A and B are shown apart, each in its own frame.
Chain A
Amino acid sequence: MFYREAGDFKKTYSADNQTFPIKIDRVGYYLALVVAFLVIPFVINDYWANAILLPFLIYSIAAIGLNILVGYCGQVSLGTGGFMAVGAYACYKLMTSFPDVNIFFHVLLSGGITGFVCVIFGLPSLRIKGFYLAVATLAAQFFLVWLFNRVPWFYNNSASGQINAPERMVFGVPVTGPNTEAWATYLFCLVFLVLSALIARNLTRGMAGRKWMAIRDMDIAAEIIGVNPLKAKISAFGVSGFFVGISGALFFALYLGAVEVGEAFGITKSFLVLFMIIIGGLGSIFGSFAGAAFLVLLPVVLKVVGVDMLGWPTDIVAHLQLVIVGGLIIMFLILEPHGLAQLWRVAKQKLRLWPFPH
């Protein structure tokens, strides 16, 4: 009743093929864009930006990237943290080596470099599958963190071993460094998120996405009908690495500002992003958003409810968060393997028929 598609006829195949074929969805999408670009920048403050919005935007990009690899192409990866580190260090080296180039291009290039590294670590996927591939990507995670810790060239020989983002401007407004304002960093990340989501959607609704899903669903049949498994898997690793690299660069340059690789991009980061797409929904762009929002908001909500309202000690709440996330993952894997995205689909189906059950 509230959500209907009756009478919404399509006259062309491109209309049938658009991202939001149903009018009410389309309206909601444009409304969300307007709010995100024209309302939030005026009401944003530092707390909202740093606690919720920036992590949400950046993790969403990482989740989209990982979802392309795991959810669409079916290649399990535990190396996300390491690949985010590649993006971060690539961005750092580019920012310090070419200070005159706009940081927008640095972030894009970092994505490209990470895509390339991801392809190299994806090569074993041609021979190994499933758990074994997961272990191979785990090796990537530990190797990359080790590399950035041990080779001083990557952190410009700084004494602390940390990398610090120097101040860079976009249209005369600082987006990195100590003097940034919340709205500027927010908008910068938002632009990248919107671009990433659009590109990911275009790729997954077209032939590239079909090839990836064919490999995921039945690789032998895919090969027999003409999918080159090498190209399909490698392109999935490349595209996934591109998005993960962008998110790593933004995470370092805009969100943290200073990074110690083992802390910021350790194995826990890999698992965090993987949990996001499992809870959000494998094989769904919307699921990447939902999962990122859920896992970014959960600690904030728990802190507000547990510490501020109920007066519990902080460490208990922090531990409780681990318990809840763990429980939720088991619950989702058993009850709803397609995650929040599927719950949303079911909810829409119910709304379509409301108040009738069938």
Chain B
Amino acid sequence: MSNDSYVTDDGRTIGPTVMEMKNITLRFGGVKAITDISFDIREGEIRAIIGPNGAGKSSMLNVISGFYVPQEGEVWYKGAKRPPMKPYQVAGQGIARTFQNIALFEGMTVLDNVMTGRLRQMKANLFEQAIWKGKAEREEVENREKVERIIDFLEIQAIRKTPVGRLPYGLKKRVELARALAAEPSILLLDEPMAGMNVEEKEDMSRFILDMNDEFGTTIALIEHDMGVVMDLSDRVVVMDYGKKIGDGTPSEVRNNQDVIDAYLGVAHD
């Protein structure tokens, strides 16, 4: 845990630790998905979690978002130990996420999907919403303005009234990002934001991630398989293999770590 800020080479300020995982162990029956992993996420940084298939990256993200409760270890968030929580309570604390296989609300329009992301900010109760005039309408308009800014930012203006079910894959990924971003999260978890995309779409997505971090100062933790993208985007990288942490540091540190090279390229058995 460190509290000092520093400035990166490209001029962004990285703040103190906002989330810290301490000795997390997650078991499914006899299978250890995660073994004794600790790492931290600092304010304003882009933190990548990488590793080969089945390394436990998504399980780690699910622990952070409250979907799995680890058998051992502690999650510290904003300087306090987090008690076991339901996923919606974790979301209420300002942790938003996207999914590896898109989890949008197919029957709703893009606009409604993104507006749903702002449910933490909209407080009118059922009665006030039934009346509509007054608090509910005012909130709706205020939040619509914020949402429109995000729609602008992610360049999905033209499809805002289209039902999500009709959109192609790449746009759906973008809408999902918009929904997560609309929550104004203190930590944004991205589970393989570039899976299944072509080079152009990956470039677009990388630009959005960098701009998000730059403009809104969003702290981002992401899982990604494309090494080039990870090394270019992230400030620090955690490397996992078979549920264990085998490396942690800046991209160049990780790239020269012998354990990481072994995990990715294999070891010669002689």
Contacts and interface: CB of A to CB of B under 8 A. Distances in A.
Interface of A: 12-14, 17, 199, 202-203, 206-208, 210-211, 213-214, 216-218, 220-229, 235, 239, 283
A226 B92 contact: yes
30 contacts: A13-B145, A14-B140, A17-B140, A17-B144, A202-B131, A203-B126, A203-B130, A206-B136, A207-B116, A207-B124, A213-B108, A213-B112, A217-B106, A217-B108, A218-B104, A218-B105, A221-B103, A221-B105, A223-B87, A223-B91, A224-B87, A224-B91, A224-B97, A225-B91, A225-B96, A225-B116, A225-B180, A226-B120, A227-B88, A235-B126
A213 B140 contact: no
Nearest to B121: A207
Contacts of A226: 88, 91-92, 119-120, 183
Interface string B101-117: 00111111000100111
Given A202-B130, A203-B129, A207-B124, A283 B107 contact: yes
Interface secondary structure of A, over-half rule: helix
A210 B119 contact: yes
Given A202-B132, A218-B104, 10 more contacts: A202-B129, A207-B115, A207-B119, A214-B108, A217-B105, A217-B107, A218-B105, A218-B106, A224-B97, A226-B183
A17 B148 CA distance: 13
A221 B104 contact: yes
A206 B116 contact: no
B25 interface: no
A349 to B, nearest CB: 14
A1 to B, nearest CB: 22
Nearest to A238: B126
Interface string B32-75: 00000000000000000000000000000000010100000000
B141 A14 contact: yes
A213 B141 contact: no
A210 B145 contact: no
A8 to B, nearest CB: 14
Contact of B116 (A12, A199, A211, A220): A211
Contacts of A211: 116, 119
Contact of A224 (B103, B120, B136): B103
Contacts of A216: 105, 107
Nearest to B115: A210
Nearest to B141: A13
Query: B86, B88, B120 — which one has the most chain A CB atoms within 10 A of its CB?
Result: B88
Nearest to B67: A224
Interface of B: 65, 67, 86-88, 91-92, 96-97, 99, 103-108, 112, 115-117, 119-120, 122, 124, 126, 129-132, 136-137, 139-141, 144-145, 148, 179-180, 183
Contacts of B145: 13
A203 B137 CA distance: 11
Nearest to A228: B88
B148 to A, nearest CB: 8
Nearest to A12: B141
A199 B130 contact: yes
Contacts of B129: 202-203, 206-208
Nearest to A210: B116
A216 B116 CA distance: 13
A86 B144 CA distance: 40
A14 B129 CA distance: 14
Contacts of A17: 137, 140-141, 144
B175 to A, nearest CB: 12
B116 A14 contact: no
Given A210-B112, A213-B112, A13 B144 contact: yes
Contacts of B67: 224
Contacts of A208: 126, 129
A229 B91 CA distance: 13
Contacts of B91: 223-226
B178 to A, nearest CB: 12
B117 A225 contact: yes
A225 B181 CA distance: 11
A228 B66 CA distance: 14
A-B CB proximity, top 9 nearest: A226-B91, A221-B103, A217-B105, A202-B132, A13-B144, A206-B129, A199-B130, A210-B116, A13-B141
B168 to A, nearest CB: 18
B162 to A, nearest CB: 14
